[in-house]
Amino acid sequence: MKRSGSSVPTFDSMLLPTIQALKILGGSGTTEEIYDKVLQLLNLSEEVLDIKHGSTSQSEVEYRLGWSRTYLKKYGLLDNSTRGIWSLVSTAINIDSLDAKEIVKAVREADKNKTIQADHLDETVGIETLEELAWHQQLHKILLSLEPSAFERLAQRLLRESGFIQVQVTGKSGDGGIDGVGIARISGFLSFHVLFQCKRYQGSVTASQIRDFRGAMQGRTDKGLFITTGTFTRDAIKEATRDGAPPIDLIDGEQLVQRLKELRLGVNITMIESVEVDTNWFTKI
């Protein structure tokens, strides 16, 4: 007997839960992560989740949630990358100030009028100063200006865009410097847990800091990742790959900005290889 889809949440009723899910996920997430979090928030039954969209293998909830993301993107609240990562345009979005009916109305009016609204960019803040710096210097300066929590969310986004799954920021005082955890997948077959630490400063990470990080890792994982806007001392590099000890991969400031460029995160690249830093992107982390 064919089941009715009347019990499935409408796409507009999932608009605000989608925003809430992304906030819980740290501002960005894969389609699967958003789906799982929305299901938790709405506490949907297995019977509802089993309802298919027509004759496809996709569930009706997945189908409608896709429309929810589309409407939120058109309304200017979400963005998505070419790697399937969805993100809030700003983590400061106040859910209580949003009206699902207003979002639907505004998007449908825009589609009806077929009007493309130009983005309003503030070009007045220190643009002359930024243009005097090389792109990587601009980007490094912005990274150093981020709040610690914003830098942790940036690391979370970076790992997700690099193929990690279930990336969580867990940094708390007394946790031995562990800022987060994720699962690295290799060729879709192998996976392993990785603990990471983020250090946003201009100095050099020392061997003792690497040892402290490894000490916090013991009994929790066999792999670590240390991300910094600074550099690593020669002894720190040796310590990270010391024989007989769990290995720790290192990403210094230069590698970090290059990776952000490769992933087009906060960096716009033209066809003539002129690299431009998107300063607005980092204020929305």
94 shares its domain with 134: no
Residue 270 domain-assigned (yes or no): yes
Do residues 256 and 202 lie in contact, with contact meaning Cβ atoms separated by under 8 Å? no
Q: What is the pLDDT of residue 124?
A: 34
Residue 120 domain-assigned (yes or no): no
Cα 206 to its chain centre, rounded Å, is 28
Q: What is the pLDDT of residue 285?
A: 79
Please provide the size of the chain in residues.
285
**Domain range enclosing 101:** 5-113
Q: What is the pLDDT of residue 56?
A: 61
Question: Of 85, 113, 141, which one is at a domain's C-terminal end?
Answer: 113
Residue 119 domain-assigned (yes or no): no
170 shares its domain with 57: no
22 shares its domain with 94: yes
Residue 122 domain-assigned (yes or no): no
Strands 248-251 and 224-228: parallel
142 shares its domain with 103: no
85 shares its domain with 162: no
Q: Over the chain, what is the mean pLDDT?
A: 82
pLDDT digits (tens, 9 = 90+) for 60-102: 898 899 999 999 999 999 998 867 789 999 888 999 999 999 9
- Domains in the chain, number: 2
Question: Of 60, 81, 113, which one is at a domain's C-terminal end?
Answer: 113
Do residues 71 and 107 lie in contact, with contact meaning Cβ atoms separated by under 8 Å? yes
pLDDT digits (tens, 9 = 90+) for 166-211: 999 986 655 557 889 898 887 767 788 899 999 988 888 899 999 9
Q: Model-level pTM? A: 0.60
CB atoms within 10 A of CB 153: 23
Query: CA-CA distance, 138 to 226, in Å (whole number)?
Result: 22
At residue 164, φ and ψ (nearest 5 deg) are: -75, 155
Strands 165-169 and 180-186: antiparallel
Q: What is the pLDDT of residue 240?
A: 92
Residue 201 domain-assigned (yes or no): yes
Residue 56 domain-assigned (yes or no): yes
144 shares its domain with 209: yes
CATH of the domain at 250: 3.40.1350.10
81 shares its domain with 201: no
pLDDT digits (tens, 9 = 90+) for 103-147: 999 998 887 775 444 333 233 333 433 443 567 778 888 999 999
Question: Which strands sit side by side in the sheet containing 224-228, from one edge to the other?
Answer: 165-169, 180-186, 190-199, 224-228, 248-251
Tokens linked to 198: 């983020």
Do residues 277 and 138 lie in contact, with contact meaning Cβ atoms separated by under 8 Å? yes
136 shares its domain with 271: yes
139 shares its domain with 229: yes
Query: CA-CA distance, 117 to 110, in Å (whole number)?
Result: 9
171 shares its domain with 96: no
CATH of the domain at 20: 1.10.10
> Percentage of the chain with pLDDT > 90?
36
133 shares its domain with 82: no
User: What DSSP assignment string belongs to the chain?
Assistant: -PPPGGGSPPTGGGHHHHHHHHHHTTSEEEHHHHHHHHHHHHT--HHHHT-BSTTSSSBHHHHHHHHHHHHHHHHTSEEE-TTSEEEES-TT--GGG--HHHHHHHHHHHHHHT--PPP-----SSHHHHHTS-HHHHHHHHHHHS-HHHHHHHHHHHHHHTT-EEEEE---TTSTT--EEEEEEETTTEEEEEEEEEE-SSSEE-HHHHHHHHHHHTTT-S-EEEEESSEE-HHHHHHHT-TTS--EEEE-HHHHHHHHHHTTSSEEE-TT--EEE-HHHHHT-
pLDDT at 165 over 70: yes
Residue 284 domain-assigned (yes or no): no
Query: CA-CA distance, 232 to 204, in Å (whole number)?
Result: 5
86 shares its domain with 166: no
Residue from 23, 138, 147, 146 nearest 90 by CA: 23
Question: Of 49, 84, 113, which one is at a domain's C-terminal end?
Answer: 113
150: CB partners within 8 A, 6+ apart: 282, 285
At residue 181, φ and ψ (nearest 5 deg) are: -145, 150
